[in-house]
Chains A and B, each alone.
Chain A
Amino acid sequence: MSAWFGDIYRTLFKIELAVMFQYRAAVVIWLIGLVLQPVIYLVVWLTVAETEGGRVGDFDAGSLSAYFLIMMVVNHATFSWHMWEMGYRVRSGSFNSLLVQPLHPFHRDIIQNMAYKVLSLAIVLPVTALLWWFFEPTLTPEPWMWIALGPAVALAFLVRFFFEWSLALLAFWITDTSGLNNLYMALFFFLAGRMAPISLLPSWGQAIANALPFRLMLAFPVELLMGRLTPEQVMDGFLTQILWIGLGWLTVHLVWTRASARYSAVGA
């Protein structure tokens, strides 16, 4: 069973990679958005730090740069776009071809996501290096933080993927999900640490961010690598991440059967 699964993953990965390679320009264009936004907010916060005598909250120029550049990479590693696509798939009937395959569409999306990440890494890494050189961040992680980073990012990806895929499934009930997606993006923008490090939010904002899964999708690995978390807090984060993944898996599992039962293929 697992060998069969591995074969499927490997083959589909090759296919998706070839497809992505066809649209190299599109891959690059998406990246511009991913890179530019963190840089804009880094510059805004650097300006704040400068007017406030070099510090803002518990950050100085070097650590702000480190935060936003690492966040940029983690965001790239964990983001997905399937919630924007699902509505189109349902409306246009292009979901049909996925449904007849003997594989949960969830896997196909994960593979597609991985193919995109692998291909775009070829650009993300040099761009990050260049920005690193420009902004001169200060970062002194201990070895255990590097080791913990891998699982933290992988789990963050899964938390985010399950959450966004559950959100995507709403497209089976609501025709136009773009409003809902925008609302999610707005919450994510503040509560996941994209707009600012969470410790710079007002205290009630921090409380909300800590209660919801958003922080674990993005800010958690960044804070980990920056040495802002104790080993206990990191373990805590891992456990909460796994908890959210379990919850996400359950949601996808329960909603999926209902969603696919509702689906009436258009254009068949």
Chain B
Amino acid sequence: MRLLRLFLIYLRIGLLYELQYRANFWIQMGKSIMNLVVALAGVAVIYEHTTNLNGWVPAELVVLLGIFVLMTGVLGVVVRPSMEKLIEDVRDGNLDFTLTKPEDAQVLVSVSQVRVWQLIDVVLGPIVSIAAMLHLGRQVDLQQMGIFAITLLAGTAILYSFWLILATISFWFIRIENIFMIFHSLYDAARWPVTIYPGWLQAALTFLVPVTFAVTVPAEALIGRLTHDYLMLTIGLAVALLVISRLFWRVGLRQYAGASA
């Protein structure tokens, strides 16, 4: 629970910081709504020509879109800004300050930046998903909610680990500010159900699979289509990636020389 306490402290600092820039709330609101409109318009264009995309009817795809927006928000609140800070700190040597603190450095770098206005997506996403679920008229029982919560956690863990692995690459190659471009382009693929990508493409872009998994699986859990095997696979993937990213972090850290000294 130390992690949670640390996170809450950083959240408070982040909140205090961003409350100075209240106009940013409206800017973020505008961006979030525009992104949502673009995504919905894309779905609308697709379903002009078909009634079902690989087994997904429009409302189901909108459920998935809501999860996508939610995950974007979760990443945007803490993971992405913290990882961008990490990459920057490795380059200019400010990571020294983190390493000297009496707390696990991976935990510290993972929650170091909090962008509260990104919470708009965290609110907007579920609204979209709930509206689509109501439209579908699908009942969700308690057990399903539980599974949904687990898949969301697993999905977040997958995306976080993925980000951490990308960010730790900066220990070897110092100049990689635009590595997050890789994440953005891959993450864009997650707007669509992972099953539509043909096998060879999934194999060619192995990275694509965990990322799309993280969004598709919670949506399937909510719709009530998730099989037991896939649930287990997702949990296994989440645990495996957490371990692998931890390894990346530990090995990478040894490369860190501390530029400021």
CB pair B34 A186 closer than 8 Å = yes
A125 contacts the other chain (Cβ, under 8 Å)? no
CB pair A40 B189 closer than 8 Å = yes
Interface, chain A (partner B; CB < 8 A): 23, 25-26, 29-30, 32-33, 36-37, 39-40, 43-45, 47-48, 51-52, 56-57, 134, 176, 179, 182-183, 186, 189-190, 195-196, 200-202, 205
Docked complex Cα distance between A56 and B45 (Å): 12
Docked complex Cα distance between A154 and B76 (Å): 38
Query: Which 3 pairs between the two chains have the least Cβ-Cβ distance?
Result: A33-B185, A36-B185, A47-B196
CB pair A48 B185 closer than 8 Å = no
CB pair B179 A29 closer than 8 Å = yes
How distant is B180 from chain A, measured CB to nearest CB, in Å? 9
Interface, chain B (partner A; CB < 8 A): 27, 30-31, 34, 37-38, 41-42, 45-46, 48-50, 52-54, 173, 175-176, 178-179, 181-182, 184-186, 188-189, 192, 196-198, 200-201, 205
CB pair B201 A179 closer than 8 Å = no
12 contacts between A and B (CB under 8 A): A25-B173, A25-B176, A26-B178, A29-B178, A32-B181, A43-B201, A44-B196, A48-B49, A51-B54, A186-B37, A190-B38, A196-B45
Docked complex Cα distance between A40 and B185 (Å): 10
Name the residue on A nearest B45 (C-beta): A196
How distant is B134 from chain A, measured CB to nearest CB, in Å? 26
Main secondary structure of the interface of B (DSSP, over half): helix
Docked complex Cα distance between A200 and B52 (Å): 17
How distant is B49 from chain A, measured CB to nearest CB, in Å? 5
CB pair A47 B54 closer than 8 Å = yes
Name the residue on A nearest B193 (C-beta): A47
CB pair B188 A44 closer than 8 Å = no
Docked complex Cα distance between A177 and B34 (Å): 15
**Chain B residues near A51 (CB, 8 Å)?**
50, 52-54
Name the residue on A nearest B51 (C-beta): A51
CB pair B181 A33 closer than 8 Å = yes
CB pair A23 B201 closer than 8 Å = no
Name the residue on B nearest A39 (C-beta): B201
Docked complex Cα distance between A47 and B184 (Å): 23
CB pair B45 A179 closer than 8 Å = no
**Chain A residues near B198 (CB, 8 Å)?**
43
Docked complex Cα distance between A23 and B177 (Å): 11
**Chain B residues near A202 (CB, 8 Å)?**
45, 48
Contact of B46 among A30, A44, A182 (CB under 8 A): A44
**Chain B residues near A29 (CB, 8 Å)?**
176, 178-179, 181-182
**Chain A residues near B54 (CB, 8 Å)?**
47, 51
